Amino acid sequence: MGDTGTTAWAAFEAAEPELAGTVRERFGQYTHHALATLRKDGSPRLSGIEADFRSGELWLGMMPNSLKARDVRRDPRFSLLANPGEGTSMGGGDVRVSGRAVEVTDPGTVSWYAKEAGAPQPFHLFRVELTEVVRTTVEGEEVVFRVWAPGRPVRTIRRGNDESPPREDRG
């Protein structure tokens, strides 16, 4: 974990292998996902993107000078929602990761990634540093959130479809 309160994918995976496995599986169901970034004026931008798990990291590749690349180069904060799939079944639950997109400019790493991923060059390459991972599912009449943040165990929060406050499972 760095001084920014972030964690690399491999460290998250080592700390919470079950949730990490679910997240990888969920992202693997579809190729295209939804990336939220911040525009220059601070308003949100939502863009399509492919996410790639490779060599213990979560990677984001972006076209040269695309708006989303310019957004995260200026302000690296983002959220990435796994494609929710068709209909309302939630395909095993919604999965979202948030964090910082750290641009990788080392020519050797970029070349390695391009070869491994079959990515056409040129492109911007970003390594994800996580600040939060959330899996949302429906269990019976409840919406269940499994939430992880660096340095904390997974929390399970439940809420019903009424005005009752959410409650946290106590382990």
Residue 163: pLDDT over 60 = yes
pLDDT mean over 15-32: 94
Instruction: Residue 25: name the closest of 82, 81, 78 by CA.
Output: 82
Class of residue 101 by CB neighbours under 10 A (exposed 0-12, middle 13-18, buried 19+): buried
Instruction: Residue 71: name the closest of 50, 47, 52 by CA.
Output: 47
Does an H or E element contain 7, and which?
Answer: strand 7-8
pTM: 0.91
Q: Give the confidence band of 5 by pLDDT, cuts at 50, 70, 90.
A: confident
Provide the CB-side half-sphere exposure for 38 (13 A, CA): 13
40/78 Cα distance (integer angstroms): 13
Q: Give the confidence band of 93 by pLDDT, cuts at 50, 70, 90.
A: confident
Q: Which two tokens stand for residue 67?
A: 């708006």
What does the pLDDT look like over 110-150, one tens digit per residue?
A: 999 999 999 999 999 999 999 999 999 988 889 999 999 99
132/7 Cα distance (integer angstroms): 9
Residue 27, classed as helix, strand or coil, is helix
Contact between 147 and 157 (Cβ < 8 Å): yes
93/78 Cα distance (integer angstroms): 20
